Structure 1
Amino acid sequence: MNAIDKNIRKLRKERKLSQEQLAERLHVTRQAVSSWETGKNQPDIEMLEAIAKAFDTDLYMILYGRKIDEESGASISKRKKYHLFAALICGAVVLAGVISWIILKDKVMELRRLYYNMVPFFIFYLLVRPVTFFAGGAGLMNLLGLLADFSIRRAWIRRTILFFSAGILLLYVVAVLSMFIPSFPMQPLRDYLNHMRFSYLPDYMASSPVVFLLSGLGMCLGTQDTLQHGGYFCIIRGRRKISASPAEKSQ
């Protein structure tokens, strides 16, 4: 927003308007336009909207010198670095999960078959496997993010995807805990969950990799604007109304 004066001057010259002509369109004095372009004064939000309308552009162009759907070179570089880092982390988790299962699979099955020791099997089946597929989904989304910007601009869609994905994971965690902790969360609730066959839910979910793949994709889509573009996320949340474009206000 420190470049408002430069953006106004640049847009005025691109439209081949004099300060007097712009002042007439805005019903202000030429001195007011001059003070904006020299940085002595800044127009208020209503005047900023009027300036954007006079230039036939959006408020984002006046504030930041680009339209809301355009990315600067620095923003693109920052986004790609973020996706690359996240993809490497997710890839490391997937690789660790796959290698550990290949190395320890026979031993885990042997303990289960010969000694009826189910703990290692449950650890791999209910923990390592879901985490691996979840990281795979998130890693895939970040790899795609290196090719193009897949971030969701509408806040309510992003939040819906985020809450739905987080809800699936929370449901799975609660179901797993209800299997192994007799007093979780309390006996009447546990009895009700068992009556509704809730205790079988972890097995159903763990045997369906697509559940965790989609959760990984959803969590990535729901949080990437929060982590990459903190300022943009603040705009969507309405923390600074002056920074929102007319399109964002309609949301």
Structure 2
Amino acid sequence: MRDIGKNIKALRKKKGMTQEALAEALFVTRQTVSNYETGRSRPDLDMLVKIADILGTDVTQVLYGLPAGQDRQGEVRRLAAGCLVIAAIFLLMTLPAPLLNELLLRRYVGAMLVSTLVAGLLRPALWLVLGWCVLQGLWLLQVIHLPEERAWVTWARRGVLLVLAVYVVLLLPPMVVGLIQVIQACLGVPNEAVVEFPQLPAYTWLMNRLLRFTAFTPQGCALIGGALWMLHFSKH
């Protein structure tokens, strides 16, 4: 309990917050937070509850700190989850490949569409998660450090996530139509009854540019994954 200040500092850094950010959330001055962390003063019970709530923990951990190894175990679990996501994406890319290749040889439009969109969605997603996992692993090895969260970090994280969400939403309609076409082809549906994606020139032009970029440079998505890690994505 003598290390309340050290516990507050450790939990604050784990959250990626600066003293200024914590002080603003507590409606106190930065010097007050500094005094808490250096032991010059101690927060009362109400303040302890507020600190715990803002740092996403409980009062017990503010008073006594994290149990030995608990924090590291949580980060290892995050890395393991990321690795499982990579494995799942890899399976989604490889298992349907023989069927898609056979349908491509028969020149089914749906198969060509799905194959193209897999290259534009799953492959970039694989590299994106891989980029995040690499930085998470380096952080666990204490090779790099997570930067403190500032106001611009929050907005940058939201901006990156918004761009990714828009990209996925743009890909979903043709992906769904392509999957329906593949299923219809497997069921032997006549060509005249096959569902077709509407011709939208502006949309087609945009999709071609996006798919060309992601299909030929999917490794660049690893940089986006690394940026999400640096922007505290896993902490929110």
Counterpart for residue 248 of structure 1: none
Structure number with greater CO (CA < 8 Å, separation at least 6) is 2
Aligned residue for 2:219, secondary structure, equals helix
Among 187, 207, 216, the alignment partner of 2:225 is: 216
Q: CA 1:180/1:226 → structure 2, altered by over 3 Å: closer, same or farther?
A: closer
Q: CA 1:150/1:158 → structure 2, altered by over 3 Å: closer, same or farther?
A: farther
Does 2:109 correspond to 1:114? no
Distance across 2 between alignment mates of 1:156 and 1:204:
34
Counterpart for residue 61 of structure 1: 38
Among 60, 66, 70, the alignment partner of 1:74 is: 66
The alignment's TM-score, normalised by the length of structure 1, stands at: 0.51
Aligned residue for 1:74, secondary structure, equals coil
Alignment of 1:21-32 (within 5 A): none
Counterpart for residue 23 of structure 1: none
Distance across 2 between alignment mates of 1:129 and 1:92:
15
Distance across 2 between alignment mates of 1:114 and 1:64:
74
Among 142, 145, 165, the alignment partner of 2:139 is: 145
Unaligned runs of 5+ in 1: 8-44, 66-71, 228-251
Report if the CA contact (8 A) 2:85-2:129 is conserved: yes
Distance across 2 between alignment mates of 1:75 and 1:155:
27
Measured after TM superposition, the shift of residue 58 of structure 1 is 5.2
Unaligned runs of 5+ in 2: 6-27, 44-63, 178-197
Measured after TM superposition, the shift of residue 193 of structure 1 is 4.7
Q: CA 1:180/1:88 → structure 2, altered by over 3 Å: closer, same or farther?
A: closer
Counterpart for residue 134 of structure 1: 128
Aligned residue for 1:118, secondary structure, equals helix
Counterpart for residue 245 of structure 1: none
Aligned residue for 1:150, secondary structure, equals coil
Q: Alignment identity in percent? A: 13
Report if the CA contact (8 A) 1:83-1:143 is conserved: no
Counterpart for residue 156 of structure 1: 151
Distance across 2 between alignment mates of 1:180 and 1:225:
28
Distance across 2 between alignment mates of 1:59 and 1:200:
56
Alignment of 1:1-251 (within 5 A): 49=31, 59-62=36-39, 74=66, 77-116=69-108, 117-118=111-112, 120-122=114-116, 124-148=118-142, 150-177=145-172, 179=174, 192-194=202-204, 197-207=205-215, 208-224=217-233, 226-227=235-236
Q: Deviations along 1:30-85, whole A, 9 cap, x unmatched?
A: xxxxxxxxxxxxxxx67x948x9xxxx755223689xxxxxx97388344223211
Measured after TM superposition, the shift of residue 111 of structure 1 is 1.5
The alignment's TM-score, normalised by the length of structure 2, stands at: 0.54
Aligned residues between the structures:
169
Report if the CA contact (8 A) 2:114-2:175 is conserved: no
Report if the CA contact (8 A) 1:175-1:202 is conserved: no
CA RMSD of aligned residues (A): 4.0
Q: Deviations along 1:129-151, whole A, 9 cap, x unmatched?
A: 23222221221121112122622
Measured after TM superposition, the shift of residue 172 of structure 1 is 1.4
